[in-house]
Structure 1
Amino acid sequence: MESKTALKNSFKEKTQLYVIGLGPGHTDYILPKALKSLHEVSAVVGFSRAMESIDFVDNKKIIIKGLKDLKELYEKGEYESLGIIASGDPCYYGITNYVKNNISKDVKVVPGLSSFQYLSSRLALPWQDAYVGSMHGREESFIEKVKSYKLSFWLVDNKFTPKVLCEMLNKENIKGNAYVGENLSYDNERIFKGTIEEVTLEEFTELSVLVIERE
């Protein structure tokens, strides 16, 4: 990435957008390239939770409440460059798709460590043969995919929680191990290891990742 001076000298008509992945949350897992980018852009933009992960960054920060705020900020053209921060890998059901479809195709992405990568490492569980899916704000053929893959990783939300998803598997008499990573990389991280049935007895927040290892 160019320095601030270079960005200012080259700025003509539009703001250069950067999408910067922050990884699972803790600063230890932010890539060096992302750290460098956070200091070089004209301003950093993101939601309040993501901003909490970069309180050490001495740069202008703009907290947005919705994606339309991001679009309006870009259209004002007040900054040579904007660094849009996002948790995890911003190219997996992340903000990159929204930016390209609604704001500008000219976007540079700095990758981040995904929650799947982090959790698989904490579990020492190789995942090259796993299915990776998301129930975050969308409906996917969850049962079908679990039946088709021995190992699957899932992003969850407040509707399809680990408990709800495992209850669905129970009704289908699907057996196996289940692992849940909650608040990954934070001080209050919780990693639960048990059976699918045991997960139905636990409560987890929507900030979780569910892993199913079918029998």
Structure 2
Amino acid sequence: MRKIYIIGIGMGNPNTITVKGGKCISESDALIGAKRMVDSFKLDNQETAFAIAPDDILNWIEVHKEIKNISVLMSGDLGFFSGAKKLRTLVEDQYGSIWGNEQIHFEYIPGISSICYFSSAIGIAWEDAEIISLHGRDDKDISAVLNHTKTFFLTDGTDHTVRKICGRLVESGLGNVLVFVGERLSYEDERITKATALELYEKDFEPLSVMIVLNDNALYREKNTLGIRDEEFIRGNVPMTKEEVRTITVSKLNLSKNHVVYDIGAGTGSVSVEMALACPYGDIYAIETNPEGINLINENKSNFGVKNLHIIKGLAPEATENLPAADRAFIGGSKGNLDEIIKSLVTKNPEVRVVINVVALESLVEAVACIKKYGFKDIDITQINVSKAKALGHYNLMMGQNPVYIIAVQGITEAV
């Protein structure tokens, strides 16, 4: 039976590989991997192949059936942003199991990950860190740091270098966060730097570095459920969606952490704040025309520290023309433009999910007509009647609020 060892080699320095990994490499007839890795471990009697892509690795193994024992070298650990993930899938597709079959057996040997090595080097535990790889991805580095006391980054050497990440932190008012940067980890010229983002954003580092960012002032809520008390918001004289209605409304949006969301007719920004906290890696756009409302949204944004909340002064749909397409939209006030607003939403994203709150029966009729006109599906209409106790002397009397219709719809049958 042929034996294929998929080995996490750690940082790259042969001294950091596990004993079992080193033993398998020394007993193999061939090594496959990036040139730097193979050159670090190869023996004189071993055949070598330079390949990184999982497809190329598996093809080479198939072509060279005469080689019985092969070690495939992967950087770091196999379970930490590793090419082993795709390779396992390809192995399963081709041989029926990630372990192979009766003719060929695959064994997976872990290594020391960059976060494990780096955390030990700087004396910090990593089990509570938010872990983000920026290789070819558009994750929200600012939101991660803002919402977590400890964030680990794998940089990508292009749009997400140490310098650029620190620059974005400074621009977002996070220049005082403490940053650790690791370069060429485990090698003789290893370098570890500790400074604030403000001190580092004009300095250059190795393209593929690692970072740990500490933010002692990260946003923290004792509860992660929806339903912030009305008393926690600055209200002024602008109408505000009340706590119980707001909680159900936001839950009907079915938010994910990276969604782009419009709050049309944002009022005091209470719904915007709830959505911004529910979407830490997303962007929330509060559209409002009332100057007092805009000031209140600004105050509530500052009070809750939600930097992913963006305030747009203007009337929808015109005010949304230059915004990214919404994944979700809440319409709390349309100023008579409901049809135009919905048309704009579905034109930019046919699969947008929309929640509309109305009080007047005439507004309900208009909303239902728009839903039919634009072919929405999964229509969910709920009426909410909320009464809250008010103390009068020794008694508590239930005081009713206006009934509210919450209309939630998903997508459309065809683009407009």
What band does the TM-score fall into relative to the shorter chain? 0.7 to 0.9
Q: Distance in 2 between matches of 1:126 and 1:142?
A: 20
**Corresponding position: 1:154 with 2:142:** no
**Corresponding position: 1:207 with 2:208:** yes
Gapped runs of 5+ residues in structure 1?
1-10
Offset at residue 137 of structure 1 (A): 2.1
Q: Distance in 2 between matches of 1:103 and 1:126?
A: 34
In structure 2, which of residues 31, 34, 37 is the aligned counterpart of residue 47 of structure 1? Answer: 34
> For this pair of structures, how many residues does the alignment match?
202
Q: Against the structure 1 CA distance between its residues 192 and 57, is the aligned structure 2 distance closer, same or farther, given a 3 Å change threshold? A: farther
TM-score, L = length of structure 1: 0.86
Q: Distance in 1 between matches of 2:45 and 2:120?
A: 31
Q: Is the 8 A contact 2:133 2:153 kept in 1?
A: yes
* 2:111 aligned partner, one-letter code: G
In structure 1, which of residues 12, 23, 27 is the aligned counterpart of residue 10 of structure 2? Answer: 23
Q: Which has the larger radius of gyration?
A: 2
Offset at residue 97 of structure 1 (A): 0.9
Q: Distance in 1 between matches of 2:73 and 2:84?
A: 10
Q: Is the 8 A contact 2:55 2:90 kept in 1?
A: no
Q: Is the 8 A contact 2:42 2:48 kept in 1?
A: no
Offset at residue 65 of structure 1 (A): 5.9
- SS state of the match for residue 53, structure 1? helix
* 1:85 aligned partner, one-letter code: L
Q: 2:163 corresponds to which residue?
A: 163
Q: Distance in 2 between matches of 1:199 and 1:57?
A: 44
In structure 2, which of residues 51, 57, 60 is the aligned counterpart of residue 73 of structure 1? Answer: 60
Q: 2:82 corresponds to which residue?
A: 94
Offset at residue 49 of structure 1 (A): 1.5
Offset at residue 33 of structure 1 (A): 0.8
Larger RCO (alpha carbons 8 Å, 6+ apart): 1
Q: How does 1:96-175 map to 2 (within 5 A)?
A: 96-104=84-92, 105-106=98-99, 107-159=106-158, 160-174=160-174, 175=176
Q: Against the structure 1 CA distance between its residues 139 and 57, is the aligned structure 2 distance closer, same or farther, given a 3 Å change threshold? A: farther
Q: Distance in 1 between matches of 2:34 and 2:138?
A: 24
Q: Distance in 2 between matches of 1:131 and 1:97?
A: 20
Q: Distance in 2 between matches of 1:119 and 1:109?
A: 23
Q: Distance in 2 between matches of 1:123 and 1:56?
A: 34
Q: Distance in 2 between matches of 1:17 and 1:62?
A: 14
Deviations 1:113-137 (A, max 9, x none): 0111111111111222111110012
Q: 2:350 corresponds to which residue?
A: none
Q: 1:190 corresponds to which residue?
A: 191
Question: Stretches of 4+ moved more than 4 A in 1?
Answer: 55-58
TM-score, L = length of structure 2: 0.46
Offset at residue 57 of structure 1 (A): 7.5
Q: Is the 8 A contact 1:39 1:58 kept in 2?
A: no
Offset at residue 191 of structure 1 (A): 0.7
Q: Against the structure 1 CA distance between its residues 72 and 56, is the aligned structure 2 distance closer, same or farther, given a 3 Å change threshold? A: closer
* 2:108 aligned partner, one-letter code: V
* 1:158 aligned partner, one-letter code: G
Offset at residue 69 of structure 1 (A): 2.5
- SS state of the match for residue 73, structure 1? helix
**Corresponding position: 1:63 with 2:64:** no
* 1:101 aligned partner, one-letter code: T
